[in-house]
């Protein structure tokens, strides 16, 4: 009898010990996720291949943006958000610029999900901190996700298959889906901005409660590498690199966030904006007009090398997006190559000035922009 009681006691003690232990996920924690195939970089990689890990820090980057702004609320559909707000915040994962639809842990150490992809669990880094020194918590992720879906119609549609989000561990947050085997869901959940719940639910310098449902011009706090240092509402904004940024040594950040300050000046007209660039008022211009590329870069700063022109691969290629007019080849009318060629000519005739300028620039990308046929002489 005594022996039986002893066995029962030992069994109960073992059960109590097991119940008291944190739950262990059966799914491996992935340091990166790819929509197709395997990720390029192994766990613990030092930095992305395309960065210079020894890049100098400092200096000022002067940029321009079109339009105006009236809010620093990064998720509210109402109002015009200031350019560059993403510099203030982090996301759970960070995209790799040399891979298609692939991301690696930023705020999150990684993500795990079951074989049927019915849910995804992100584990936050223990060292992740807000600018005020407080830890980034699962409650912040839940708050950010729920408010993003509530206040941004795009996110409501984008994350429509995410039906629940909950805290499942001290640093774990789990998203549950209404469908299975959708491998895109774990990846896109790493993309939305994570906001500090305690800051938004606190009071502002005027003593009034903050309201994430409204626009605001109070400089917002985040966990990202920059902070809002100065601004003139609707006209300019300047961001300053944070010396105390928690993630500055993280492998996905090494060789990046190099400028000490980044400033934006707003312009209401693109032609005026380009003239400001010609005059040296800001540092970078992405050209979108073939005519201007062909004829407008004859100013002194180009001739003496202060402005350097460079043709880069179409960014749509890196995201797997094709921008083109694609005829339905199952229809009899499009099977004749001469018809397809005639459609090109018809489009050109409707926009003769566009065609002429594109030919001047040595490009015929009106219909081929963003595809493998871009800049080629191949007939569609």
Which structural domains are found in the chain, ordered by start? Answer: 33-51+87-214 (3.40.190.10), 290-380 (no CATH)
One-character DSSP codes across 250-307:
STTTTT----SEEEEEEES-HHHHHHHHHTTSSS------HHHHHHS--SHHHHTTSS
**Pair of tokens at residue 275:** 């003239």
Residue 285 has pLDDT above 60, yes or no: yes
Beta bridge partners of 185: none
Residue 255 in tokens = 């060789």
Contact status, residue 255 vs residue 48, Cβ threshold 8 Å:
yes
Token pair, residue 29, equals: 């924690």
Global pTM? 0.79
State residue 368's pLDDT score.
33
The pLDDT tens digits of the residues spanning 288-341 come to 888 898 899 999 999 999 999 998 776 666 666 666 678 888 889 889 999 888
Give the mean model confidence (pLDDT) for residues 251-273: 97
Residue closest to 65 by CA, chosen among 262, 216, 259: 262
The rounded percent of the chain whose pLDDT value lies above 70 is 81
Is pLDDT above 50 for 20? no
Going by pLDDT thresholds of 50, 70 and 90, the confidence category of residue 379 is very low
How many CA within 13 A on the CB side of residue 44?
Answer: 0
Buried b (16+ CB within 10 A) or exposed e, 129-165: bbbeeeebbbebbbbbbebbbebbeebeebbeebeeb
The closest of 285, 246, 229, 255 to 84, measured between CA atoms, is 229
Note the pLDDT tens digit of each residue in 132-183.
Answer: 999 999 999 999 999 999 999 999 999 999 999 999 999 999 999 999 999 9
State the DSSP code for 122: E
Residues 183-196, mean pLDDT to the nearest whole number: 97
Rounded to an integer, what distance in angstroms lies between the CA atom of residue 288 and that of residue 370? 13
Which of the residue ranges 95-104, 154-163, 189-198, 322-331 would you say has the lowest mean pLDDT? 322-331
Per-residue model confidence as pLDDT tens digits over 46-77? 999 999 999 999 999 999 999 999 999 999 99
Gyration radius of the chain over CA positions? 26
Higher-scoring residue by pLDDT: 355, 228:
228
Residue closest to 49 by CA, chosen among 39, 58, 60: 39
Q: Span 190-197, mean pLDDT?
A: 98
**Please, is 128 exposed, middle or buried when counting C-beta atoms within 10 Å of its C-beta (0-12, 13-18, 19+)?**
buried
Give the pLDDT score at 325.
74
Mean pLDDT throughout 186-202?
Answer: 98
**Tokens coding 217:** 């011009």
DSSP conformational letter for 23: P
pLDDT score of 322: 65
Cα dihedral: 302, 304, 307, 311 (round 10)? 60
| pLDDT of amino acid 319 | 63
Average pLDDT of the chain, as a whole number: 86
Grade residue 343 by pLDDT with cuts at 50, 70 and 90. confident
Q: What does the alpha-carbon distance between residue 193 and residue 86 come to, in Å, rounded to a whole number? A: 8
What does DSSP assign to residue 88? Answer: G
Dist. CA 193–CA 144, nearest whole Å? 7
How buried is residue 343: exposed, middle or buried, by Cβ count under 10 Å (0-12/13-18/19+)? Answer: middle
Contact between 58 and 68 (Cβ < 8 Å): no
The answer, yes or no, to whether residue 40 has pLDDT greater than 60, is yes
User: Which residues have C-beta within 8 Å of that of residue 340, sequence separation ≥ 6?
Assistant: 327, 334, 379, 380
Q: Which pLDDT value is given to residue 3?
A: 45
Residues 6+ apart with CB under 8 A from 373: 324, 380
Q: Which token pair is 5?
A: 């009681």
Over range 188-208, report the average pLDDT: 97
């Amino acid at each position: 009898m005594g022996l039986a009681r002893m066995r029962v006691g030992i069994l109960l003690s073992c059960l109590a010990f097991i119940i008291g232990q944190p739950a262990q996920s059966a799914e491996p924690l992935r340091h990166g996720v790819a929509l197709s195939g395997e990720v390029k970089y192994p766990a613990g990689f030092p930095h992305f291949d395309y960065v210079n890990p020894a890049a100098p820090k400092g200096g000022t980057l002067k940029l321009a943006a079109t339009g105006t702004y009236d809010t620093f609320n990064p998720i509210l559909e109402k109002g015009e958000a200031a350019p560059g707000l993403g510099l203030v915040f982090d996301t759970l994962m960070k995209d790799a610029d040399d891979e298609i639809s692939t991301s690696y842990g930023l705020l999150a150490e990684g993500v795990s999900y079951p074989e049927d992809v019915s849910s995804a669990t992100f584990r936050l880094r223990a060292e992740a901190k807000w600018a005020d020194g407080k830890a980034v918590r699962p409650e912040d992720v839940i708050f950010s996700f729920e408010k993003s879906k509530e206040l941004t119609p795009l996110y409501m549609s984008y994350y429509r298959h995410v039906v629940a989000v909950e805290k499942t561990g001290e640093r774990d947050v789990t998203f549950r889906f209404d469908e299975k085997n959708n491998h895109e869901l774990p990846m896109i959940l790493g993309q939305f901005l994570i906001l500090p719940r305690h800051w938004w639910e606190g009071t502002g310098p005027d003593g009034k409660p903050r309201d994430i449902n409204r626009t605001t011009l109070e400089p917002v706090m985040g966990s990202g590498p920059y902070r809002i240092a100065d601004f003139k509402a609707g006209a300019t904004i300047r961001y300053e690199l944070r010396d105390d940024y928690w993630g500055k040594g993280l492998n996905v950040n090494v060789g990046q966030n190099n400028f000490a300050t980044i400033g934006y000046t707003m312009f209401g007209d693109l032609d005026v904006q380009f003239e400001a660039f010609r005059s040296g008022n800001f540092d970078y211009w992405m050209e979108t007009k073939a005519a201007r590329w062909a004829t407008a870069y004859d100013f002194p700063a180009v001739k003496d090398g202060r402005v350097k022109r460079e043709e880069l691969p179409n960014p749509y290629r890196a995201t797997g997006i094709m921008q083109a007019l694609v005829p339905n080849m199952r229809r009899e009318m499009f099977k004749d190559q001469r018809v397809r060629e005639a459609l090109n000519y018809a489009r050109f005739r409707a926009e003769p000035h566009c065609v002429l300028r594109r030919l001047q620039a040595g490009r015929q990308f009106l219909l081929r922009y963003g595809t493998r046929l871009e800049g080629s002489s191949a007939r569609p």
